Amino acid sequence: MSNILNKRYEFVLFFEVENGNPNGDPDAGNMPRIDPETSHGIVTDVCLKRKVRNYIELAQGGKSPFDIYVRENAVLNDINEEAYVELKIKPEPKKLPKDSGQAKQVTKYMCDRFYDIRAFGAVMTTEVNCGQVRGPVQFSFARSLDPVVPQEITITRMAVTNKKDTEKERTMGRKHIIPYALYRAEGYISAPLAQKTGFSETDLELFWQSLMNMFEHDHSAARGKMASRKLIIFEHETPLGKAPAHKLFDLITAKRIDDTKPPRAFNDYAINVNHAGKPDGVTIIEH
């Protein structure tokens, strides 16, 4: 793939949830994830990557070179075997080909075909071994700007499964929501790792598009109203970068406008980007 990425990037994404559960914790009855010490809401990096994958698959139709490797009901061994069939190489159980050139071919085939491998990397050392790839695009956990108070809402089931239960009382259920929260997620894109996986400028533009639109086709009764609200990108002039990531992240602040009432809308916050403090060799792009 041409136009391989040759610049370092960092980004900050603000997204909101209203009357929904952005990332349930299966170890806590699917309640929204929270930091037990601060009560701030948490959304995992894995959850965000899942939404990016879903959007890419929807937007690109699941076709090479934008196919998705980690998808629902995927049988990874079968997918890995397709690389060997395509390259006419006989696989050995749990091992890459002994020939180093063939081993690189197998891994490159997977990178060239699957967008999420090029972007996020993958451990493909299963029964049919296609190697291991470290991806250039990584997320941190998203964290709400303020503490959240999850609410448990009682719901009623009006239908029954079996005819014999028709006369019984209707079943009561529970769903967990956060009335409102604005989350901040931070991420990193490494040019040297992009060179290894083949992550391109085209892939990058598709990634920015997915961050801004990944919630538009992910609405459900559980997640409520979710939306990407603001994306700030730091573009470096060089592959290694011109400033530490944490100093760039410090240039972005978000504060509640009125501390006397709980936040219930995006307009309750003021997001400030300190352009004056920007280091030389770094460009700030806002969406």
Calpha distance 142→41 (Å, rounded)? 8
SS3 253: strand
Instruction: Determine, yes or no, domain membership for 2.
Output: no
Instruction: Determine, yes or no, domain membership for 1.
Output: no
Instruction: Determine, yes or no, domain membership for 170.
Output: yes
Compute, in degrees rounded to 10, the torsion defined by CA atoms 125, 60, 226, 252: 80
Instruction: Determine, yes or no, domain membership for 274.
Output: yes
Instruction: Determine, yes or no, domain membership for 174.
Output: yes
Read off the tokens for 28. 């806590």
**Helix 201-213, helix 45-60: angle, nearest 10:** 110
For the chain, 287 residues long, give each residue's pLDDT as a single digit of tens.
469 999 999 999 999 999 999 999 998 888 999 999 999 999 999 999 999 999 999 999 889 999 999 998 889 999 999 999 999 999 999 999 999 999 999 999 999 999 999 999 999 999 999 999 999 999 999 999 999 999 888 887 777 777 776 666 667 777 889 999 999 999 999 999 999 999 999 999 999 999 999 999 998 888 889 999 999 999 999 999 999 999 999 999 999 999 999 999 999 999 999 999 999 999 999 99
Instruction: Determine, yes or no, domain membership for 231.
Output: yes
Count of CB atoms situated within 10 Å of the CB of 256 = 15
Instruction: Determine, yes or no, domain membership for 3.
Output: no
> Tokens 């990193």, residue?
188
Instruction: Determine, yes or no, domain membership for 4.
Output: no
SS3 59: helix
For residue 253, give its domain range: 9-286
SS3 202: helix
The phi, psi pair for 123, rounded to 5°, reads: -100, 105
Residues 6+ apart with CB under 8 A from 143: 35, 40, 41, 42, 43, 183, 184
Number of domains making up the chain: 1
Model confidence pLDDT, tens digit, residues 143-198: 999 999 998 888 877 777 777 766 666 677 778 899 999 999 999 999 999 999 99
Is pTM, for the whole model, over 0.85?
Answer: yes
